Amino acid sequence: MSREQRKWDHIRFALGNEQKSSSAFHDIKFLHNSLPNSSVSNVRLDSFIGELYLSSPIFINAMTGGGGEKTYSINQKLAIVAKEKGLAMAVGSQMAAIKDPLQRYTYEIVRKENPSGIVIANLGSEATLEHAKAAIEMVEADALQIHLNVIQELTMPEGDRDFRDALKRIEMIIHHVQVPVIVKEVGFGMSRETVQSLSSIGVQAVDIGGFGGTNFATIENKRRLQEYTFFEDWGIPTPISIVEAAMIEKPISIIGSGGFSNALEMLKGLALGADAIGVAGYFLKILVREGIEKLMDEIDRIHNEMLIIMTALGAESISKVKNAPLIISGETYHWLNQRGID
């Protein structure tokens, strides 16, 4: 099976992959404040991932890899949305275009459509320094994502079976590229120990890619007859993983992602410690099923709802959302408690 066919399967099956569990967000509630002393007109949505300035805390996370006309078309549409709505955008894994330069156009279109926006390159942890430099150059990237997808690879019959030395390769890349590097998961979450290991080699930003949204174990199982169903309920739920990342000793920029589909969940993610929120599957579904205009409307709606909720919280900036008091119950409470976090 070609890389292009496999990646298209991912898109097809992701569209049918309804959220596995967003219950962890239900475990988290904001404490109501009757005297917020705030005004909608004063609320600002801009944020930072390290030194990278974002005019919105939401960004379009990596989705389309594999090359081909479908990648081109989806990347072009997402880039138009990103430009119109001022969102940063990560492209999908660029390895296909590094191996076959004829596929470069399917990624280059993102920079062409959005010459001055924030574009994030993407590769897996098998990438070498040369691959990383090529990926950054291809889209004139402002940052590079390196994804960790052990469970997805193990679930794929043609996937990798050897995950040694990922940290060494990442370390080599972060010290020799000119843009910030974000190490990301793809839907199974990161533990505090993982984030600590990444921090100790100098990684300054992680995207915890938590459990609760797009589920690559389910997607890969749908693509074949033999099923590793035990991985479908595997992973660290998104809100918990954000807290895990926020608990390491040296502060690190945190991107929350994995299952976000509304403003309230996004603000809960930010209140738990994220600096920005990445959205993949939810935006892809709207784009493919309902079109580009609907996706732009949805982003407007989310931005508006964020302004309203932040006013209710008395938090007029994203950094102030982090101080909003939260009540945590249920499984999330027990998980955090067992991990010594309260």
Q: Which of 61, 106, 114, 221 binds ligand FNR (CB under 6 A)?
A: 61
Q: Which of 4, 14, 60, 221 binds ligand FNR (CB under 6 A)?
A: 14
Question: Is residue 138 a contact point for ligand FNR (CB under 6 A)?
Answer: no
Q: Which of 187, 189, 235, 256 binds ligand FNR (CB under 6 A)?
A: 187
Asked if residue 56 belongs to a known ligand binding site, the reply is no
Q: Which of 213, 237, 256, 269 binds ligand FNR (CB under 6 A)?
A: 213
User: Beta strands 181-185 and 52-54: pairing type?
Assistant: unpaired
What Å distances lie between residue 8 and 2, 172, 304, 306, CA to CA?
10, 31, 33, 33
Q: Which of 57, 65, 67, 189 binds ligand FNR (CB under 6 A)?
A: 65
Q: What is the C-alpha separation between 230 and 298, in angstroms, rounded?
A: 34
Asked if residue 62 belongs to a known ligand binding site, the reply is yes
Question: Is residue 63 a contact point for ligand FNR (CB under 6 A)?
Answer: yes
Q: What is the C-alpha separation between 212 and 274, in angstroms, rounded?
A: 16
| Cβ 52 vs Cβ 141: under 8 Å | no
* Nearer to ligand FNR (CB atom), residue 133 or residue 184: 184
Question: Is residue 189 a contact point for ligand FNR (CB under 6 A)?
Answer: no
The residues facing 119 across adjacent strands are 89
Which runs of E-coded beta strand occur in 252-340? 253-257, 276-279, 326-328
Q: What is the C-alpha separation between 120 and 91, in angstroms, rounded?
A: 6
Q: Return phi, psi of residue 50, to 5°.
A: 60, -125
Tokens of 99: 């191996």
Contact window for ligand FNR (CB under 6 A) among 172-180, 197-205, 279-287, 300-308: 279-287
Contact window for ligand FNR (CB under 6 A) among 27-35, 52-60, 208-216, 321-329: 208-216
Contact window for ligand FNR (CB under 6 A) among 22-30, 254-262, 293-301, 303-311: 254-262
Asked if residue 7 belongs to a known ligand binding site, the reply is yes
Task: List the one residue out of 157, 318, 187, 341 whose CA is nearest residue 253.
Answer: 318
Tokens of 228: 């590793």
Contact window for ligand FNR (CB under 6 A) among 8-16, 42-50, 223-231, 313-321: 8-16
* Nearer to ligand FNR (CB atom), residue 188 or residue 315: 188
In whole angstroms, how close is the CB of 247 to ligand FNR at the nearest point? 21
Task: List the one residue out of 51, 77, 116, 119 whose CA is nearest residue 296.
Answer: 77
| Cβ 226 vs Cβ 193: under 8 Å | no
Binding site for ligand FNR (CB under 6 A): 10-11, 14, 61-63, 65, 92-93, 122, 145, 147, 184, 186-187, 209, 213-214, 257-260, 279-282, 284
**Residues annotated in the binding site for substrate, as ranges?**
6-7, 152
